[in-house]
Amino acid sequence: MVDFFMQYGGIIIGGFGAALSVFLPGIGSSRGCGLVGKTATGLLTEEPEKFGQALILQLLPGTQGLYGFLIAFLIINNLTPTINLAQGFFLLFAALPVAFAGYRSALYQGEVAAAGLQILAKKPEENTKGIILAAIVETYAILGLVGSLILLVVAYPNIARM
Amino acid sequence: MAIVKMSKFTLFTFQANKGELLKKLQIYQNIHFKNLSTTDMPEYLKKDFSNEQFNFYTEGIAKLTFIIQKLKPLKPKEKGFAALTTPKPSFSYDEFEKFSTTYDYQSLYEKLKSTDEGIRELKQKISRLETDNVSYQNWHALDVSTKQLSSLKYSSYLLGNVNKANFNSFKEALEKNYQNFYLEHLGDSKDDSHVLIIFEKGITDEFSNFLRDNGFSKASIEFPGLPESLVKGNNSEIAKLKNDVASLESGNKEFVSELDNTLIIMDYYESMLERVKISGRFLKTNEILILEGWLPQDEVKNLEGILNEACRGEYFIELEEVEYESTEVPIKLKNNKLVQAFESITAMFNMPKYNEIDPTPLLTPFYILFFGVMVGDIGYGLVLVIATFLAIKFLALNEGTKNFMRFLLYCGFGTIFAGILFGGAFGVTVFAPIQYTNPTTNELGYKAILDSNWDIVTMMVLSVAIGFIHIIFGLLVKGYMNIRDGKILSAIFDSGFFITTLFSAVGLLLGTMGVLPAGVGIASKWVLIASLIGLLVTQGRDCVTMVGKIAQGAYSVYGLTSYVGDFVSYTRLVALSLSGAYVAISFNQMIGLLPPGIIKIILGAVIFLLSQTLNIGLAVLGAYVHSCRLQYVEFFGKFYEGGGVPFRPFSFNNKYINLKE
């Protein structure tokens, strides 16, 4: 058992990291988009012509899922059968920033974007302000992405050489 | 390029000239009127606003809206491209006015209104019949009419409801206490069972009391015939009524050709309402009208020409320079075509105050760069440029949309430029001029100038460097504004010290890391210390007490930490760029996994189109929003306040028409 874990642990743990960074922000993004979409239906029954602008607001919390996907992609590129346990753990940790920052920020961003529909309903010409407000939340998902990127691209090559 | 210089005017003329004057000024579209207030004014000055006219035009607009609502759904939709390319009809003002005042929309309104009422009546009848049907359904098992039941000689009958759950206990109670009765269960609705009871005539009062106590409630319903045949009759009646509704509705079709005319009049009425409303900003005496407002300085000559014509020389005008510090003067921006496309970015944040500068030309090059880097794909850039170019060239767009298309066009060029650096088109590397050795396999190969696999660290450093330039530029602009206003010391304290602090901090960092010679690091250290002391001493200079000065100075030194956040924020440039690129790459890899053959070609093409469309949309949206954020938070925060009133000239409503000169 110990032998098995020492031999394959790296790729298993690393793979877990890749999975985390896809499914956590994925859940967050789908819930964020879902919240905005659900709220938007109320507005669209009254004013169906605002569909395009409502769609933009709904898309905003969707990007976290993409960020997680990007990190998973980079992790998978590094997953070779030869990596050891330490490297595997490092890949898992590299996934954490984007996974958790992405997960929560997508939910909060969804809430702001859903509230932004109020602006769209009452003052459609000011709709972009609602978009910007929601985008501010995304900063922290981006920082999570950058953190994961640094761990993977800057730090990991040194670890891999050890 | 900048904020347009304004003149303020106060104009006196006779009431008699008002109509002609307002008409001319509305065509002129260059005056922003001030809302004059009657407080602190002599009593003989009154607001010039006519309720009567206001009501006249709002009522007209309500009627026109009704006509448009009724006719619009009936109009056959123009086919896609034709609808987009047909320009609005053009009119001269006189044609426009003559057409709108002579056209008889009232009778059209009356006709549509009466059909509408007819339709509503019919629909009410239908819904009444439908409710009847629903209640008849509940008694569907009744096989005798109420007329027949009332003609019984020795018996009485009752129709009524019992709670569904209690029906059995009700029946038992009845059977226990009485022998001579007949109970029939006719049907169920949601909560109730519907029953018919026939009993001896003599015991009516006592019997009905007993029933009531056991949860029976009498239904006041009559069946002139059998329920089934009643429903049938109603249904045929409903079908007939629905036919009538349809024929009334299709009768409206003959008026569809009037829709376009109605839209033109709608524009006229909205414009006239605007004219009535603007009068609310003026003051008047019995004879004289007083108007106050602003117009661009170089338009003063034209205004005088208009006044001479409209008032036949009977006016007095007082012109004054607008004070530099004025906060009520409306702000109009004037820029070349390129910068003009970006004015909406400034306007979305806030218009500048009259004594600030127009930040649009300053943010434009950075915006194009940021947007370009965030999308960063030759293919996407070409799509943007070609699509927006064709839209501007061939579609009948209004001015705002056209401007936005131009904005995207310029951003598209930025995207192509950045795309060349990153070497990708639709996620495929197409431009890789740099030779390099793969560090893991030691093979020779080619890569893009800034490769998304090998140069991520360089790209991050570059993003922060761009941010550094952007922020220093913002501080320089602030310094320029201070120097322009003669505040040399403020420029040194509020811009100079910050700039030296930032430069020396970077110098110190690079010196200790060994990127720059050690001497630079040591020199930077001393400059940094001097700058920090400078900030500590000067930033509290507005405070009155000594303690306040020190505290404020120390706080501003502490506030320097926010600059770290600012720089980190610029890493979003590379983050968004990479996420867009990798999504495109991974979709392309998915297509590569398909089994080769005809399926791969067809399915691959479909996946390619869909995925790239999705990705381009997301990338453009993200780039638009995050470029804005970098301008608003990181850049504007350094020098820009805003808060000016936008210039809203008194003008025409031309949603549906084009007004010729």
Asked if B278 and B20 touch (Cβ cutoff 8 Å), the reply is no
Provide the domain limits for residue B635.
359-454+571-639
Place of tokens 């993409």: A66
- Assign residue B188 the CATH number of its domain: 3.30.70.2750
User: Residue B391, Cα to own-chain centre: how many angstroms?
Assistant: 21
Report pLDDT digits (tens) over B99-133.
Answer: 888 888 888 899 899 999 999 999 999 999 988 88
Residue B7 sits in the same domain as residue B78: yes
Place of tokens 């020199």: B523
Asked if B650 and B26 touch (Cβ cutoff 8 Å), the reply is yes
Residue B370 sits in the same domain as residue B323: no
Residue B282 sits in the same domain as residue B205: no
* H or E element at residue B333: strand B333-334
CA distance B280 to B285: 14
Residue B649 domain-assigned (yes or no) = no
Residue B266 domain-assigned (yes or no) = yes
SS3 B650: coil
Residue B9 sits in the same domain as residue B92: yes
pTM: 0.82
Asked if B587 and B608 touch (Cβ cutoff 8 Å), the reply is yes
CA distance B348 to B355: 19
- Chain A residue numbers with beta carbons less than 8 Å from the beta carbon of B579 are 63, 66-67, 70, 145
pLDDT for B452 equals 82
pLDDT for B463 equals 94
Q: How far is B95 from chain A (nearest CA, A)?
A: 32
State ipTM: 0.78
| Contact yes or no for B457 and A59 at CB 8 A | no
pLDDT for A144 equals 93
* H or E element at residue B305: helix B300-310
pLDDT for A46 equals 87
Place of tokens 């131009």: B406
Residue B112 domain-assigned (yes or no) = no
| CATH number, span A24-161 | 1.20.120.610
Q: Does A26 touch chain B (CB under 8 A)?
A: no
- Chain A residue numbers with beta carbons less than 8 Å from the beta carbon of B562 are none
CB contacts < 8 A, A to B, total: 71
Place of tokens 């496309």: B341
Residue B476 domain-assigned (yes or no) = no
Which ranges of B376-398 does DSSP label H, i.e. alpha helix? 378-394
| Mutant choice from A29, A55, A56, A70 vs B, greatest count of B C-beta within 10 A | A70
**pLDDT greater than 70 at residue A101:** yes
CA distance B333 to B366: 19
Give the one of A67, A136, A157 whose C-beta lies nearest to B579's C-beta. Answer: A67
Residue B240 domain-assigned (yes or no) = no
| Mutant choice from A125, A146, A152 vs B, greatest count of B C-beta within 10 A | A146
Residue B448 sits in the same domain as residue B595: yes
Residue B576 sits in the same domain as residue B434: yes
Residue B369 sits in the same domain as residue B432: yes
Average model confidence (pLDDT) for chain B? 88
pLDDT for A162 equals 66
Residue B301 domain-assigned (yes or no) = yes
B545: amino acid identity, one letter: T
Chain B interface, Cβ < 8 Å to A: 348, 439, 456-457, 460, 568-569, 571-572, 574-576, 578-579, 582-583, 585-586, 617-618, 621-622, 625-626, 628-629, 632-633
CA distance B565 to A142: 13
Q: State which of B200, B222, B244 marks the end of a domain.
A: B222
CA distance B541 to B549: 6
Q: How many CB atoms lie within 10 A of CB B559?
A: 11
Q: State which of B312, B331, B350 marks the end of a domain.
A: B331
What is the token pair recorded at B165? Answer: 């759950």
Q: How many domains are contained in chain B?
A: 3
Residue B447 sits in the same domain as residue B596: yes
Residue B292 sits in the same domain as residue B420: no
pLDDT under 70: residue ranges of chain B: 1, 78-80, 203, 440, 661
Which ranges of B438-496 does DSSP label H, i.e. alpha helix? 456-484, 488-491
* H or E element at residue B31: none
Residue B97 sits in the same domain as residue B165: no
Q: How far is A145 from chain B (nearest CA, A)?
A: 7
- Straight-line distance from the first to the last Cα atom of chain B, in angstroms, rounded to the nearest whole number: 26
Report pLDDT digits (tens) over B619-650.
Answer: 999 999 899 989 998 999 899 988 888 999 99
Asked if A6 and A85 touch (Cβ cutoff 8 Å), the reply is yes
CA distance B474 to B486: 19
Residue B7 sits in the same domain as residue B97: yes
Residue B276 domain-assigned (yes or no) = yes
* Segments making up each domain of chain A, as ranges: 24-161
Residue B558 domain-assigned (yes or no) = no
* Interacting residues of B635 by C-beta distance below 8 A, sequence separation 6+: B363, B366, B470, B471, B473, B474
CA distance B514 to A80: 35
Q: Which residue in A has a C-alpha nearest to residue B632's C-alpha?
A: A132
CA distance B365 to B413: 11
Residue B65 sits in the same domain as residue B210: no
